[in-house]
C-alpha cells in the first residue's frame, strides 16, 4: 500500500489580506516549478496540519495550502464576520491569482470536499483535476445524522454520543445544534470553552476505523476546539451557505475533469451514501469505497489518495 510522502517544510509562507478584516496564512511546499495543487482542509475551522503536505510527490507538485478564514494561523482567529462558503471560494481564487497559477489540481476532504466542489463548480476553467475524500454535501440529512438525537451516529458510538448529549439539558435536546450555538456564544468564557471541547470531543474522537470511545480525539487543544466548534456550528446553522442540492446540481460544470472520490465504507461522520449519490450524479468520476473510517490517515484512504495524486502527476508532468 502507498504511504504518505516524507515530511517537508514550506519553501514560502505568505500573509495574504483578502479583505479589510481577514488575512490568510498560505504555504507553498514541494517543487516551485511542479504541478500546482490546492489543498482544502476540513472542519470548517480545523486548520492545517503538517501531514496535509504529504499526499503529494514533492518532486512533482507545487503544493499550496492555507488556513481558511478564522482558523489556524489566519486572522482574526474564530472570526465569523464575512465567513461563508462564497467568501472561501473567492479566497481560493484570490490565492490562485496571487501566486500566478493558471490551472491547478483541487484536493479536499470532508468539509474540504464540500469546498472543493463549490470552488471547482464556480471556476472549472482553472481546474485540472479533482481529488475528494470523505464526501460531505451539506444536506440536511447529513447534518442531522451526526449532530441530532434522531441521527444515526449516536447508535454506533453511544458512549461518546452520551457525553455530547449530556452537556445539553434534556429540555433543549430537540435541537442540539441550536443548544450548542447558544453556549458557544455565551458571555461566559468558561461556558464557551466547555461547549467547544464537548463538541470537538464528539467529532474529533469519531474519525478513525479503530475507535477508542474514551480517547480525547484530534481536537483536544483548546484553541483548535474553539475554532472547529464555533465555525462548524456557524456553517451548519446556515446549511453551509449552499442552495439545496447545489453541489449535485453543479456536477454538470465539472464532469469533464478527471476526478477521484475516496470514501471510508465505515465513515461515521460523513456516511457513505453521500459519496454514492455524488458518484451516481458523476459517473465519469472514479469512486473508491475502502475499509476505513473518516480519517484521511486511515491506511486504505492514504493508499487511494496518493495513488490519485500520483496519477494526475503522471498525466500532467
Contacts of 187 (CB under 8 A, 6+ apart): none
Residue after which a domain boundary falls, among 209, 240, 271 = 240
* Domain co-membership, 128 together with 251: yes
Please tell me which residue in 74, 294, 295, 298 is annotated as part of the active site: 294
* Domain co-membership, 130 together with 155: no
Known catalytic membership, residue 22? no
Please tell me which residue in 57, 67, 91, 267 is annotated as part of the active site: 267
Q: What is the mean pLDDT of residues 211-223?
A: 64
Q: What is the mean pLDDT of the chain?
A: 95
* Domain co-membership, 219 together with 234: yes
Total domain count for the chain? 2
* Domain co-membership, 126 together with 274: yes
pLDDT for 205: 77
Tens digits of per-residue pLDDT, 174-209? 999 999 999 999 999 999 999 999 999 898 878 887
Q: What is the mean pLDDT of residues 217-222?
A: 60
Residue at 36 is within a domain:
yes
Residue after which a domain boundary falls, among 194, 217, 240 = 240
* Domain co-membership, 289 together with 208: no
Known catalytic membership, residue 110? yes
Q: What is the dihedral of CA 207, 208, 213, 218, to 10 degrees?
A: -50
Has this prediction a pTM greater than 0.85? yes
Q: What is the mean pLDDT of residues 38-49?
A: 96
* Domain co-membership, 299 together with 263: yes
Residue 40 pairs in a beta bridge with 108
Buried (b) or exposed (e) across 121-143, using 16+ Cβ within 10 A? bbbbebbbbbbbbbbbbbbeebb
* Domain co-membership, 79 together with 210: no
* Domain co-membership, 236 together with 199: yes
Indicate whether 315 pLDDT > 90. yes
Please tell me which residue in 110, 113, 200, 295 is annotated as part of the active site: 110
Tens digits of per-residue pLDDT, 86-145? 999 999 999 999 999 999 999 999 999 999 999 999 999 999 999 999 999 999 999 999
Residue after which a domain boundary falls, among 240, 269, 290 = 240
Cell matching residue 263: 470514501
Indicate whether 217 pLDDT > 70. no
Q: What is the mean pLDDT of residues 60-79?
A: 97
Cα 172 from Cα 200, distance rounded (Å): 19
pLDDT for 265: 96
Known catalytic membership, residue 294? yes
Q: What is the mean pLDDT of residues 272-281?
A: 98
Q: What is the mean pLDDT of residues 277-289?
A: 98
pLDDT for 127: 98
Burial of 277 per CB tally in 10 Å (0-12, 13-18, 19+): middle
- Order across the sheet with 286-290: list the strands: 12-17, 23-30, 61-66, 35-40, 104-109, 127-133, 259-264, 286-290
Residue at 7 is within a domain:
no
For residue 214, name the pLDDT band (cuts at 50, 70, 90). low
Cα 131 from Cα 138, distance rounded (Å): 18
pLDDT for 169: 97
Rg (CA), the chain: 19
Which domain covers residue 230, as residue numbers?
141-240
Angle between helices 176-184 and 140-147 (to 10 degrees): 70
* Domain co-membership, 133 together with 273: yes
Residue at 116 is within a domain:
yes
Amino acid at each position: 500500500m502507498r504511504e504518505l510522502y516524507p515530511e517537508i517544510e514550506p519553501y514560502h509562507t505568505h500573509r495574504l489580506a483578502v479583505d479589510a478584516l481577514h488575512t490568510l496564512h498560505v504555504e507553498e511546499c514541494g517543487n516551485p516549478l511542479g504541478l500546482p495543487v490546492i489543498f482544502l482542509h476540513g472542519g470548517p475551522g480545523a486548520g492545517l496540519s503538517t501531514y496535509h503536505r504529504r499526499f503529494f510527490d514533492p518532486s512533482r507538485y507545487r503544493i499550496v495550502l492555507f488556513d481558511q478564514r478564522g482558523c489556524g494561523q489566519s486572522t482574526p482567529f474564530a472570526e465569523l464576520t464575512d465567513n461563508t462558503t462564497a467568501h472561501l471560494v473567492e479566497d481560493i481564487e484570490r490565492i490562485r491569482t496571487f501566486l500566478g497559477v493558471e490551472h491547478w489540481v483541487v484536493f479536499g476532504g470532508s468539509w474540504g470536499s464540500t469546498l472543493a466542489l463549490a470552488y471547482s463548480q464556480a471556476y472549472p476553467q482553472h481546474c485540472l483535476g479533482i481529488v475528494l475524500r470523505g464526501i460531505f454535501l451539506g444536506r440536511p440529512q447529513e447534518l442531522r445524522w451526526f449532530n441530532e438525537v434522531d441521527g444515526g451516529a449516536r447508535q454506533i458510538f453511544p458512549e461518546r454520543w452520551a457525553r455530547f448529549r449530556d452537556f445539553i439539558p434534556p429540555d433543549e435536546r430537540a435541537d442540539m445544534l441550536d443548544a450548542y450555538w447558544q453556549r458557544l456564544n455565551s458571555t461566559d468564557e468558561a461556558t464557551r470553552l466547555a461547549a467547544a471541547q464537548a463538541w470537538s470531543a464528539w467529532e474529533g474522537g469519531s474519525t478513525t476505523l479503530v475507535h477508542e470511545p474514551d480517547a480525547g480525539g484530534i481536537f483536544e487543544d483548546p484553541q483548535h476546539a474553539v475554532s472547529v466548534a464555533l465555525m462548524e456550528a456557524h456553517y451548519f446553522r446556515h446549511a453551509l451557505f449552499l442552495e439545496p442540492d447545489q453541489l449535485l446540481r453543479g456536477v454538470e460544470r465539472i464532469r469533464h475533469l478527471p476526478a477521484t472520490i475516496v470514501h471510508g465504507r465505515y465513515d461515521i461522520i460523513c456516511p457513505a451514501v453521500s459519496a454514492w449519490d455524488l458518484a451516481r450524479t458523476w459517473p465519469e468520476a472514479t469512486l473508491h469505497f475502502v475499509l476505513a473510517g473518516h480519517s484521511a490517515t486511515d491506511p486504505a484512504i492514504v493508499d487511494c489518495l496518493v495513488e490519485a495524486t500520483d496519477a494526475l502527476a503522471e498525466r500532467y508532468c
